[in-house]
Amino acid sequence: MKLEWMGNHRALVEKIIRYGNAYSNTYKLQRSYGTDVMFSASQIQTLEYILEAEDKEEKMSEMALRLGVSRSTFSKNVKNLKEKGLLEKYHLSGNRKDIYVKPSTKGREVYAEYTEFVRKLCFDEIFQYADNISATDQANFIRILDKLADVLVWYGEKEQEPRKLVKIDPVDE
């Protein structure tokens, strides 16, 4: 059956699906990534966003939203990273409700080791390809990825209809 709804974009859709499946298969696997600490891609992304937002005093809920994960997933990652000594938790004096997280010295060191490892493993080559793409094409590619992420985040949060039991063999009345 020809999938005409994709038009000329079948190869693009196929590669997006392949990437999504490969990523989902490794997202929660604990690996060392060239460091002496085991962590998942989900956890290192959390650490990365915390490092990036360090000067912004961003709350955990705000970082979770920016990363595109649920607050509970973000909180679990923070808990795991704190147990590994990579993060420290804070609250403002007079406000114990809002939690802020900052990288520890060990967290900074591990992240530096990780980035060196993954840069050599795959990003050096990816960046070489990206350097040969026009700024307009890069912006369009980024829009494509943003649109995909927006739809997935929306669909993940969308309340589904309640499930109902449906009789398999209806009785003639």
Q: CB-based contacts of 21: which residues, under 8 Å, 6+ apart?
A: none
The domain made up of 4-155 has a fold known as Arc Repressor Mutant, subunit A (1.10.10)
pLDDT for position 171: 66
- Per-residue pLDDT reduced to its tens digit, 105-140: 999 999 999 999 999 999 999 999 999 999 999 999
Considering the chain, what is the average pLDDT of its residues? 88
pLDDT for position 63: 87
Q: CB-based contacts of 67: which residues, under 8 Å, 6+ apart?
A: 45, 46, 49, 74
Per-residue pLDDT for 173 more than 60?
Answer: no
Per-residue pLDDT for 1 more than 70?
Answer: no
Is the Cβ–Cβ distance between 102 and 54 less than 8 Å? yes
pLDDT for position 168: 81
The pLDDT of 80-105, averaged and rounded, is 88
